[in-house]
Amino acid sequence: MQPATTSPDSTQLVHIGRQPLYDWSGHVVGYELLFRGAADEIEASRRTAYATSQVIVNAFTEFGLEQLVGGRKCFINLTRDFLVGELPLPFDPDHAILEILETVEIDDAVLAGTARLVQQGYEIALDDFVFGLGHDRLLGLASYVKLDLLIREPDELAEVVARCRRYPGIKLVAERVESEEHILLAQRLGFDLLQGYAVGRPQVLTAVALSPSRLRRLELLGAVTAEDADIAKVSTIVQSDPALSYRVLRATNSAASGLPRKVASVRDAVVLLGSAKIRQWAALMLVSDVAESATEDQLSTTMARARLCQTVAERLGLQGEAAFTVGLLAGVAELISEPVAELVNRLPLTVEVADALVDGHGRLGQVLSIVRAYEVADEHALASAPVSSADLAKAYLSAVGWSMRTIEGALGR
C-alpha cells in the first residue's frame, strides 16, 4: 500500500479576505472576514448565503480562527438566511460579531431573528448603515454601526453620527477611510474605529482544503437530525471520511479552547461538540459545497492506514480509536501536502496523539511507525516490531477490505 499523494481532484485552494479595523492608538482590534473566490480577487464576487457559508466553513475548519484573527474580534457578514434561522450559526457568540449587510431587507422576521441572536449573546454590527432604509429598527440591538465616509458630505455625516450616539453602547466604525482627510474627519466626529485603504488594505489568505464527500455530509446530517441521535453511529459516519473527520476535529478546536480536556479520537470530538453542533456544521458544509472529495484510491489508502493503526494498537492493548485518529491525520496531512506539525497545531489533540504524529513518540507513535514500515515493506524495521509479520499481513488485508467496503458504501454501491 503506497502513501496517499495529492492530486488536483482531491484538494483545492480556498481563499478568504481579511481587512483590519484599527483603534486610534493604531492597534488592530479586529478583522472583517470577506469572501474571495481567488487569491488575486480584490473585491468580493459574491455576497450571498453561499459566500457567507464558505467564509464560515473556511474560517473555522480550514484556516482556524486563531490563525486568521489571533484572538482579536472577528466580523462576519450575514445574509437573511442566517438571521431568520434558516441556516445555522455553528459557532458560539464569543467567536464572531455578526455583520448585517445593507442589502438585507429588515422585516419583522429579520428583526425577531436578530433579537434572538442578541439574547443568545451575539454582538451585532450594521454594515454601510443609512437612516431611512429600515436598518434603524436594529439600532437598539446593535453593538457596532459602520458608516461609509465616501457616500456622505461632512455635515450630513455629522448629523448621522449624532443620531447614532443617542443609542448607548454603540461603537461607530468609519468605513472606506481612503485618505488622510478621511482620518481627520473621523477623528473630529468621534468615530471609535477605522477601516479602509488609508489604514489597512484587505489581505487574501490561501490554504489547501480537503473536502468531505457530499454523500457523507448528507448521511451525517440525517443521523444527527434524528430525535434519538446515536453518538456511536455519528462517530462511525464521521470516521468514514478523512476530510469530514478533519473538519469535525478543527471545529472542535474552538469548542475545546480553554478547557482542560483535549480529544484523542473523533468520537471524543463528536461528544464534545454534541449532536446539535455537528448537525449545524454538516448543514453548513452542504450549503458551502466547496469541492468534490478526494479520489476513491486516496480515500481508501487513508482509511486503510487508519484502520490498520487501530488494529495494531488494540493487539498491543492500546486505545484503538486514538490510534485510528493518528493514522487518519497522518494520511490527511499527505492528502493536503501540509506538514503534520502544522496540522496538529490547529487541532485540540491529546499530548499522546500529538506526540505520536509530530515526533513518533510514545506507544501510539510506535504503532504509526509499524504501520508505515509495513506500507513500504521495511523488513529491518519490522524485525523488531512487537507484532508478527503474519499478524500484520492479516490485519492489513482486513483493513483494506474494510476500507473498500466503507468507500463503496459511501458511493452507494
What is the per-residue pLDDT for 167? 93
Of all residues in the chain, the percent with pLDDT exceeding 90 is 29
Residue 190: is its pLDDT beyond 90? yes
Among 202-206, 252-256, 298-302, the least confident range = 252-256
231-254 mean pLDDT: 76
Mean pLDDT (the chain) is 78
Strands (E), 232-387: none
- pLDDT mean over 101-115: 92
Q: Do residues 75 and 33 touch, judged by C-beta distance below 8 A?
A: yes
Average pLDDT of span 25-41: 76
Say if residue 115's pLDDT is above 90: yes
Taking Cα atoms as reference points, which of 209, 184, 287, 238 lies closest to residue 13? 209
**What angle separates helix 231-239 from helix 242-256, to the nearest 10 degrees?**
120
What's the pLDDT at 101?
85
pLDDT at residue 31 tops 80: yes
- Residue 110 pLDDT: 93
Half-sphere exposure of residue 282: CA atoms within 13 angstroms, side-chain side: 26
Domain map (residue ranges) of the chain: 11-206, 211-410
123-144, pLDDT tens digit by residue? Answer: 999 999 988 888 999 999 999 9
Q: Provide the grid cell at 61.
A: 475548519
pLDDT in tens, 290-314: 334 456 677 678 778 888 999 999 9
Measured between alpha carbons, how far is 379 from 138 in angstroms, rounded to an integer?
69
R_g of the chain, CA atoms, integer Å: 24
pLDDT of residue 237: 78
Model confidence band, residue 219 (pLDDT cutoffs 50, 70, 90): low
In terms of phi and psi (left: phi > 0; alpha: psi -120 to 50; beta: otherwise), the region of 207 is beta
- The answer to whether 278 and 197 are in contact (CB under 8 A) is no
pLDDT mean over 360-376? 91
What is the DSSP code (8-state) at residue 171? Answer: E
Whole-number pLDDT of residue 41: 46
Tell me what the mean pLDDT of segment 245-268 comes to: 70
- Per-residue pLDDT tens for 142-183? 999 999 998 888 999 999 999 999 998 899 999 999 999 999
- Confidence (pLDDT) at 272: 78
Residue 411 pLDDT class (50, 70, 90 cuts): very low
Q: How far apart are CA 69 and CA 46, in angstroms?
A: 22
Residue 264's pLDDT is what?
80
Q: List, in sequence order, every beta strand (DSSP E) within 24-154.
A: 28-35, 73-78, 97-100, 123-126, 144-148
The pTM score is 0.55
C-alpha grid cell for residue 346? 490547529
CATH number of 11-206: 3.20.20.450
Q: How confident is the model at residue 214 (pLDDT cuts 50, 70, 90)?
A: low
Could you say which of 1.10.3210.10, 2.30.30.90, 3.40.50.620, 1.10.10.520 is the CATH number of the domain covering 211-410?
1.10.3210.10
Residue entry with cell 477605522: 194
Per DSSP, the three-state class of 1 is: coil
pLDDT number for residue 402: 78
Confidence tier at 2 by pLDDT (50, 70, 90):
very low
> Residue 190 is placed in which grid cell?
468621534
Q: How far apart are CA 164 and CA 162, in angstroms?
A: 5
Whole-angstrom CA distances from 129 to 18, 88, 115, 172, 351 are: 21, 25, 18, 10, 48
> Is 219 within 8 Å of 49 (Cβ atoms)?
no
pLDDT tens-place string over residues 338-356? 788 887 876 667 888 889 9
Which residue reads 455635515 in cell numbers? 155
Which of the four pLDDT bands, split at 50, 70 and 90, describes residue 11?
A: low
**314-339 per-position pLDDT tens digit:** 999 998 878 888 888 888 788 767 78
- In the chain, the percentage of residues whose pLDDT exceeds 70 is 74
pLDDT in tens, 375-400: 888 888 888 888 888 888 888 888 88
Residue from 221, 394, 410, 202 nearest 312 by CA: 394
Per the model's pLDDT, the better-predicted residue between 119 and 332 turns out to be: 119
DSSP 390-401: HHHHHHHHHHHH
